[in-house]
């Protein structure tokens, strides 16, 4: 491990469990013996979504009826403090603390050798102590090396991209599936001679497609989320129809 990997991190500080992470976090309670079922929940973090892009926030040129319905029926917060860029936002949501305290002061790039310290206490880890199963579907962006990836931060399952869809990755530090799908002329041999390769698709730290076919992200992520929900809590998935998703709701 590079000696600078943890240079800004202060591990083992308890977090305030305020909220969660990422493109799509699915947390499923799996204790069949529990007398009282704990709630299942999904937290969605959208990159590059402007405040005025939603109907519930005043948008007139974009239709978001399903999100608007959630806003009407739930709680809508209009005053808050956020980081304006990717990695710090995720660090705060994961740990409930200021991103600079955990060493994520700006956007992480493929050349960076630090990330969210595995010794930080994260909300998924706290959920697992309450018998939840956790999964993350989508973008991570909290460190490039495997030690910083979701499976070392309380997630049971991960399907998505290591960083932004516009960012590449260091192909020398990744593992590749035997049936990895190679696109656009890339091969298992050629990619290892490169310093940076285009955005990959990853399942549980293993690269399964290079470059990721981004035209199918919405469909893939939706189906993967529904499949995880059905697998981890069949009763809840059946009640919500999560396993029967046929359309993709609001499109921005």
Domains and CATH numbers, the chain: 24-46+86-244 (3.40.720.10)
Options 141, 153, 180, 199, the catalytic residue: 141
Work out the percent of the chain whose per-residue pLDDT is above 70: 79
Q: Indicate the burial class of 79 (C-beta count within 10 angstroms; 0-12, 13-18, 19 or more).
A: exposed
Please give the pLDDT value at position 231. Answer: 83
Q: Is 86 designated active site?
A: yes
Q: What is each CA distance from 37 to 33, 123, 233, 242, in whole angstroms?
A: 9, 19, 11, 18
pLDDT digits (tens, 9 = 90+) for 157-189: 999 999 999 999 999 999 999 999 999 999 999
Please give the pLDDT value at position 249. Answer: 54
Confidence category of residue 252, pLDDT binned at 50, 70, 90: low
Task: Count CB atoms within 10 A of the CB of residue 182.
Answer: 15
* Parallel, antiparallel or unpaired: strands 206-210 and 201-203: antiparallel
Q: Is 180 designated active site?
A: no
DSSP string, 130-172: TTEEEEEES---S-SSGGGSGGGTT-SEEEE-SS-TT--B-GG
Q: Please name the residues in contact with 28: beta carbons below 8 A apart, sequence gap of 6 or more.
A: 40, 132, 133, 134, 135, 228, 229, 232, 233, 236
Options 9, 24, 29, 86, the catalytic residue: 86
CA torsion angle 126 128 132 135 (round to 10): 100
Does 123 have pLDDT greater than 80?
A: yes
């Amino acid at each position: 491990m590079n000696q600078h990997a943890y240079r800004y991190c202060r591990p083992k500080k308890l977090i305030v469990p305020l909220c969660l992470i990422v493109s799509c976090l699915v947390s499923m309670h799996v204790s069949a013996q529990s007398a009282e079922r704990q709630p299942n929940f999904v937290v969605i973090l959208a990159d590059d979504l402007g405040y005025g892009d939603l109907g519930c926030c005043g948008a007139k040129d974009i239709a978001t009826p399903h999100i608007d319905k959630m806003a009407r029926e739930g709680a809508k917060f209009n005053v808050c403090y956020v980081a304006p860029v990717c990695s710090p936002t995720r660090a705060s949501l994961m740990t409930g603390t200021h991103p600079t305290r955990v060493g994520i002061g700006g956007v992480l790039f493929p050349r960076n050798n630090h990330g969210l310290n595995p010794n930080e206490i994260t909300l998924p880890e706290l959920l697992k102590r309450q018998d939840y199963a956790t999964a993350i579907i989508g973008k991570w962006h909290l460190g490039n090396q495997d030690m910083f990836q979701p499976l070392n931060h309380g997630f049971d399952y991960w399907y998505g991209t290591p960083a932004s869809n516009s960012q590449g990755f260091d192909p020398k530090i990744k593992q590749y599936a035997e049936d990895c799908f190679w696109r656009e002329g890339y091969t298992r041999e050629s990619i290892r001679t490169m310093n940076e390769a285009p955005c990959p698709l990853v399942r549980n730290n293993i690269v399964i497609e290079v470059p990721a076919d981004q035209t199918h992200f919405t469909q893939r992520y939706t189906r993967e989320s529904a499949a995880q929900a059905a697998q981890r809590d069949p009763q809840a998935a059946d009640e919500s129809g999560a396993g029967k998703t046929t359309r993709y709701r609001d499109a921005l």
